[in-house]
Amino acid sequence: MANKTPCLTSGAIFHTGIFEDNVSVKVDLPFKLEITDEEAAILETLIHNQLELVLRPYFKKAPGAEPETLDILFTT
């Protein structure tokens, strides 16, 4: 279980779905996100990278996973 931490996104409502073959995340923001296309691309990359960090342990213990390949994928 994750440790309790102070809320850093007051007013955001997180919707998560954890299933056998997929994980989904949606966040309702308490404001309009007014960013450029470039900023949106950066945000997308940051979210992707953080989700990889969270999911990484499950890939390492997945049946048929090759640790050498995973180490290459997650060292960037």
Give 21's DSSP letter.
Answer: S
Q: Which residues pair with 21 in a beta bridge?
A: none
pTM, to two decimals:
0.73
Instruction: Give pLDDT, residue 76.
Output: 43
Q: Please name the residue ranges forming H helices in the chain.
A: 37-60, 67-73
pLDDT at 4: 87
Give the span between the Cα atoms of 75 and 11, in whole angstroms. 34
User: What's the mean pLDDT when you consider all of the chain?
Assistant: 86
